[in-house]
Amino acid sequence: MTLTKIFTTYKTLYALPALLLLSLASCEKFVDIPKAPNQLLVSDAYKEDATAMSAVLALYSNAVTNNVLANVTFCGGIESDEMVYNQASDASLVEFQNAAVSPTNSTVANYLWGSTYQAIGKANVAIDGLNNSTTLTPSLKTQLLGECKFFRAFNYFYLVNYFGDVPLALNADGSKDAYLPRTKSDSVYAQMMTDLKDAENSLPAAYANSPRTRVNKYAAAALLARVYLFKNDYTNAAAEASKVIGATDISYGMEPVETSFLTSSKEVVLQIATTSAASNLPIFGTAYMQSQQFQLAPNFTNGFEAGDKRKTNWTQGSLISKYKLGGNEYNITLRLAEQYLIRAEARAQLNQLSDAKSDIDSIRTRAGLAPTTASTQQAILDQVAKERKLELFGEFAHRWFDLKRTGKSTEVLSPLKPGWKATAVLQPVPQTERTKNANLTQNEGYAQ
């Protein structure tokens, strides 16, 4: 789907079927949004609380049905040293595994680019409709705006980390954004920060439903902490992570590894439900444990220390078994462990070494390990990198992005990926998009 088509699709109509409205009483499950006949004009969708909420809840459903969660996780996972694609049936995924992605790659065009911009298009339409509405309950309007801005920032985070400079589309009228050139990544990050600050300030601490499947202020803070870390703003990264870790109005806490990925886990900051009313299996669990399409790379488990409970509970040979497919799991999108690791890295960079070690040990203690023996700044940063690799594997391409942002990609991946080129740290802009939009330039290392 081209960028032009994506934005045109959401310019006029927004699907708001009665079936989706039935989910408002309990937002734990979302259903696929069917096509016509029941559609509302955008001008009408934000006149009443129920239809406005339906429109925003579609952003959650879209994250699963349009494979945003899946593809931003699996593509980076198999291009790094973390996972392998265990089938040869999808040639586009084989390209990722070989770190030789082409501009005509269908996964890049349809999902990494297409699905994320589709989600941004929906968020833009919703933000415009909410801002222009004068009939919604004020508190609901404020909350829904916060959720929309969170999702816009969430999708831009993955776009900019996969592609670098990308078009910064912010208009509800897609025709105004359809032929944008690429915007410098610093400006895209600035927009993310603006959106997430707005979201954090407008969203309540309390979750709108249980179990934690709607964005609250701490989910916005958690994503903002990550954004600050990626921009090397260590003071603000530590501050935002501390808001989540130190929250007193929400019961966050590190869970035993055996229960970390249950819907009831206190470690969950945000989880997104499946879209099927017939099955509650998380997309990550089905891909890792049911179909076993994506497995741990050879020798990955060698990195665990003796007695590490994460190896025992989260791996089964080459399988990733964080999700057990027991019917009481959703797709965990943000969790507390990442916040400890963000703060540990930020504190180490700020030379707050004792505090950094304390955060590392929060992770290690849960894993059944002794406190870290690292004492110098570099040793502590190395320990953080190791803990991130062993704690966050199989989740949202953390390893791929960590290698890229710390400049370790070539050192780690060139021995593993024949034909590795340093320019592979960014994906190619889809050729279909460049054909439609002459203003789009190509990333270095790909045919111009």
Is the pLDDT score of 15 beyond 70? Answer: no
Residue among 64, 51, 67 nearest 18 (CA)? 51
Of residues 327 and 211, which shows the higher confidence score?
211
Domain 3-436 has CATH 3.40.50.10860: no
Of residues 145 and 67, which shows the higher confidence score?
145
Length of the chain: 448
Residues 373-399 have pLDDT tens digits of 999 999 999 999 999 999 999 999 999
Contact 223, 153 (CB under 8 A): yes
Is the pLDDT score of 212 beyond 80? Answer: yes
Position 239 confidence tier, pLDDT thresholds 50, 70, 90:
very high
CA distances from 299 to 84, 409, 443 (A): 12, 18, 32
Is the pLDDT score of 10 beyond 50? Answer: no
What's the rounded mean pLDDT across residues 177-191? 97
Contact 274, 62 (CB under 8 A): no
User: Does an H or E element contain 244, and which?
Assistant: helix 234-245
Question: What is the pLDDT at residue 448?
Answer: 79
Report the C-alpha gap between 58 and 4 in whole angstroms. Answer: 21
Judge if pTM exceeds 0.85.
yes
Position 62 confidence tier, pLDDT thresholds 50, 70, 90:
confident
Q: Where are the domains of the chain?
A: 3-436
Name residue, tokens 């990733």. Answer: 320
Position 39 confidence tier, pLDDT thresholds 50, 70, 90:
low
Is the pLDDT score of 126 beyond 90? Answer: yes
Q: Respond yes or no on whether the N-terminal peptide bond of residue 138 is cis (omega within 30° of 0).
A: no
Question: What is the pLDDT at residue 28?
Answer: 32
Report the C-alpha gap between 90 and 67 in whole angstroms. Answer: 15
Position 447 confidence tier, pLDDT thresholds 50, 70, 90:
confident
When the pLDDT of each residue in the chain is averaged and rounded to a whole number, the result is 90
Supply 271's token pair. Answer: 């989880």
Question: What is the pLDDT at residue 190?
Answer: 98
What's the rounded mean pLDDT across residues 88-113? 96
Q: SS3 for 397?
A: coil
